[in-house]
Amino acid sequence: MRADRLVATLLLMQARGRVTAAELAAELEISVATARRDLEALSSAGIPVYPQAGRGGGWQLLGEGRTDLSGFTASEARALFLTLGPRAGESDAARSALRKVMRALPVTFRAEAEAAAESVVVEAGGWGASAVRPTAVAVLQAAVVERRVVRFDYAAWGRPARARTVRPLGLVDKGGTWYLVADSAASDTALRSYRVDRMTDAEALDERFEPPAGFDLDAAWSELSAEVGRARTRATATVRVAADVLDEFRAWVGGTELVGGGGQEATPASAEPDGSGRVLVRVTAPSEVALARRLAAWVDGAEVIEPEGVRQRLAAFGARLAETYGAVEPPSSSSTLTTSA
């Protein structure tokens, strides 16, 4: 791929004006001898690349040979790194290519391109169903790169929407669901994450900001996602589930793990049904109320063993349903959910 390497050499010389063979070798990950041969080949081909001997010398591209070889405008450079930068970690070749393009960009473009490349974390899997990319993502990405404060209306789960004004520090694409990592524009408060599909009327303001010293989006997201994971498992219930509906139960309820002997997590192979044909399952959720709501649909095929608080909430749900719809004799079933001891 010598042609590609020669173009990369010209781009680097355009950006820096003068380079040594050793510097070129380090940048393009080639040997010093190869770098020197490439420079000599460019000079022999009539391109105005000349060596300069002595202290501070090197190879220089003279003025008539300088041109915008990349052809990028500032907005094009930012768009490229917004699109490819977050996913460069998936490929060594992609990371290497972006590094070379970054070095070749005009100096005035590099800061925004670098910020764009580091503005998004891509993470496989998600906590919920994948969402269509919200329209607010483009507004938020631009605000992150330009370091502009943003305002939006946000409806947290189970709460009415209210206006938020924050400093956007980065975005996360978690299995197709987008999150904004930000801190308060009014004070230096702890970082928070906001689910983008719960935002409306997102807009970037004229106010600018500087990110916290040493801020690292990957590290910040790792900490925030760990907190979310802990919040999602604050309440736990042990449920006895009929083996013939186990797969459906786990897919419907979510947040489950099989329980084997001694109460330890089990694999499907080691979680054998008991004498009544049921399997122990541990279900987690943010609260006992959330647990009871998830499990209320499973009157047939499951029985909550503990905690007593979830059993009592299920009994209360049943009483309210009977009061609303009237008490009727349920159809016969081989397995029903009970709340007795």
Q: Across-strand partners of 153?
A: 163, 200
Taking CA atoms, 321 is separated from 297, 314, 333, in Å, by: 12, 11, 19
Domain endpoint, select from 99, 118, 137: 118
Q: Looking at residues 111-137, what average pLDDT do you find?
A: 63
For residue 330, the Cα-to-chain-centroid distance in whole angstroms is: 46
Q: d(Cα 285, Cα 304) in Å, to the nearest integer?
A: 14
Kindly state whether residues 135 and 215 are assigned to the same domain. Answer: yes
Kindly state whether residues 177 and 202 are assigned to the same domain. Answer: yes
In the numeric block, which tokens belong to residue 164? 């938020």
Top-confidence range, 3-7, 251-255, 263-267, 299-303:
299-303
Kindly state whether residues 289 and 209 are assigned to the same domain. Answer: no
Q: Is residue 162 part of a domain?
A: yes
Q: d(Cα 240, Cα 338) in Å, to the nearest integer?
A: 11
Q: Looking at residues 179-199, what average pLDDT do you find?
A: 82
Q: Is residue 199 part of a domain?
A: yes
Domain endpoint, select from 188, 206, 231: 231
Q: Is residue 50 part of a domain?
A: yes
CATH of the domain at 157: 2.30.30
Kindly state whether residues 277 and 305 are assigned to the same domain. Answer: yes
Residue owning tokens 């009539």? 46
Domains: count for the chain? 4
pTM: 0.48
Which 3-state string (H, E, C) describes the chain? CHHHHHHHHHHHHHHHCEECHHHHHHHHCCCHHHHHHHHHHHHHCCCCEEEECCCCCEEEECHHHCCCCCCCCHHHHHHHHHHHHHHHHHCHHHHHHHHHHHHHCCHHHHHHHHHHHCCEEEECCCCCCCCCCCCHHHHHHHHHHHCEEEEEEECCCCCCCEEEEEEEEEEEEECCEEEEEEEECCCCCCCEEEEHHHEEEEEEEEEECCCCCCCCHHHHHHHHHHHHHHHCCCEEEEEEEEHHHHHHHHHHHCCEEEECHHHCEECCCCCCCCCCCEEEEEEEECCHHHHHHHHCCCCECEEEEECHHHHHHHHHHHHHHHHHHCCCCCCCCCCECCCCC
Ranking 14-18, 254-258, 312-316 by mean pLDDT, the lowest is 14-18
Which pLDDT band holds residue 335 (cuts at 50, 70, 90)? very low
Q: d(Cα 3, Cα 25) in Å, to the nearest integer?
A: 16
Q: Is residue 84 part of a domain?
A: yes
Kindly state whether residues 138 and 220 are assigned to the same domain. Answer: yes
Kindly state whether residues 239 and 224 are assigned to the same domain. Answer: no
Kindly state whether residues 279 and 248 are assigned to the same domain. Answer: yes
Q: Is residue 339 part of a domain?
A: no
Taking CA atoms, 155 is separated from 59, 108, 338, in Å, by: 59, 39, 36
Is there a contact between 81 and 142 (Cβ–Cβ < 8 Å)?
no
Which pLDDT band holds residue 178 (cuts at 50, 70, 90)? confident
> What pLDDT sits at residue 50?
79
Q: Is residue 294 part of a domain?
A: yes
- Residue ranges making up the domain that contains 140: 123-231
Kindly state whether residues 219 and 302 are assigned to the same domain. Answer: no
Kindly state whether residues 213 and 271 are assigned to the same domain. Answer: no
Ranking 4-8, 95-99, 132-136 by mean pLDDT, the lowest is 95-99
CATH of the domain at 49: 1.10.10.10
Taking CA atoms, 277 is separated from 2, 317, 334, in Å, by: 68, 27, 11
> Which one-letter amino acid corresponds to residue 202?
A
pLDDT reading at 182 higher than 50: yes
In the numeric block, which tokens belong to residue 128? 């919920």
Q: Is residue 338 part of a domain?
A: no
Q: What is the pLDDT of residues 30-72, one digit of tens each?
A: 888 888 888 887 776 667 777 877 666 788 877 544 445 455 5
Residue bearing the bigger pLDDT, 121 or 250: 250
Rounded to 5°, angle at Cα 210 from 213 and 138: 115
Pairing of the two strands 162-174 and 120-123 = parallel
Q: Across-strand partners of 21?
A: none
Domain endpoint, select from 65, 90, 106: 65
Kindly state whether residues 85 and 60 are assigned to the same domain. Answer: no
Q: Is residue 147 part of a domain?
A: yes
Kindly state whether residues 139 and 221 are assigned to the same domain. Answer: yes
Kindly state whether residues 128 and 219 are assigned to the same domain. Answer: yes
